């Protein structure tokens, strides 16, 4: 019942809100758009709020689907955190370059972000409700090569947890100021082993401020990656664990994600979310 209401409500919003943002005969200089959705089903334990950023001249009928980047905020933050960091302006600047691959960005509110991951169902909310709906209503994603998941602070913790537990859904993960590993060593070994047996590889990037007190926690996860021989990129940069740090490097993040999507999008077939 909850899912039926959720999806029905979203379809109503789609009819009322999305269509004006579809660009036909797009003139040069047309900016991208940010479309925000707010949903709450009666009796639901969490609010459903997310925003979709479409690139300039977004084409819903383009033959090849746009890659999809999902960004997750951190502890005691909100959906508006990404606006505070300047995501809309940073992505508009990124998209102006003809050398940059256009993609769609999805940001999602974690309303219960003060509880432990084990007590939350935020991952299920993303994978079972939000992601399938977005990929059904926007020309985006459809395969692991065309999906990336990234996060800041607690959002990075979630990103690592989701990607390595669901390697059939995501290939690329960006961990910005990761506070620690969500896995025990043996648990991560089995997850990595299963992914390897299925032929799933990963594109992993970590970055952290040189004055970030969570640096040792991030190094724990790096060690786990090394133990399983999973390649990764690691950057230690000026800064700490703060909004100013993520704002400083946001443009770099967007460029890295753009480069990380499959070079040949045609090789990534579109379809529903893998189960």
| pTM, 2 dp | 0.86
Range with the largest mean pLDDT of 10-14, 55-59, 91-95, 161-165: 161-165
Q: What is the pLDDT of residue 6?
A: 46
The stretch 233-256 carries a mean pLDDT of 97
Task: Answer whether 190's CB lies under 8 Å from 167's CB.
Answer: no
pLDDT at 79 over 60: yes
Taking only the tens place, the pLDDT of each residue in 209-241 is 999 999 999 999 999 999 999 999 999 999 999
Residue 232 contacts residue 163 (beta carbons within 8 Å)? no
Q: Which residues contact 115 (CB under 8 A, 6 or more apart)?
A: none
CA distances from 267 to 72, 121, 173, 197, 255 (A): 27, 33, 20, 21, 22
CA neighbor of 152 nearest in space, from 244, 28, 265: 244
Hunting for tokens 């993520």 — which residue is that?
246
Q: Which two tokens stand for residue 18?
A: 């999305």
Q: Which domains occur in the chain, in start order?
A: 2-22+31-263 (3.40.50.1820)
Q: Is 245 exposed, middle or buried (0-12, 13-18, 19+ CB in 10 A)?
A: buried
51: β partners = 36, 107
Cβ–Cβ < 8 Å for 214, 178: yes
């Amino acid at each position: 019942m909850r899912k039926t209401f959720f999806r029905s409500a979203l379809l109503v919003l789609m009819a009322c809100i999305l269509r004006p943002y579809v660009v036909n005969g797009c003139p040069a200089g047309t900016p991208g758009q940010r479309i925000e959705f707010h949903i709450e089903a009666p009796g639901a334990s969490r609010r459903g709020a997310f925003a979709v950023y479409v690139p300039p001249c977004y084409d819903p009928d383009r033959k090849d689907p746009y890659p999809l980047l999902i960004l997750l905020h951190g502890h005691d933050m909100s959906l508006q955190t990404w606006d505070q960091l300047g995501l809309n302006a940073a992505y508009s600047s990124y998209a102006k370059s003809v050398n940059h691959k256009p993609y769609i960005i999805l940001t999602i509110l974690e309303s219960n972000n003060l509880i432990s991951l084990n007590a939350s169902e935020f991952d299920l909310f993303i994978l079972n409700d939000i992601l399938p709906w977005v990929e059904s209503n926007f020309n985006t994603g459809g395969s692991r090569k065309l999906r990336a998941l990234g996060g800041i602070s607690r959002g990075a913790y979630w990103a690592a947890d989701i990607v390595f537990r669901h390697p059939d859904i995501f290939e690329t993960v960006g961990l910005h100021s990761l506070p620690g590993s969500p896995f025990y060593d043996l648990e991560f070994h089995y997850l990595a082993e299963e992914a390897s047996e299925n032929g799933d590889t990963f594109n992993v990037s970590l970055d952290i401020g040189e004055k970030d007190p969570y640096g040792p926690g991030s190094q724990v996860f790096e060690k786990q990656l090394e133990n399983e021989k999973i390649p990764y990129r690691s950057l230690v940069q000026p800064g700490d664990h703060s909004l100013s740090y993520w704002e400083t490097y946001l443009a770099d993040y967007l460029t890295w994600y753009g480069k990380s999507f499959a070079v040949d999008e045609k090789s990534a077939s579109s379809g529903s979310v893998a189960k």
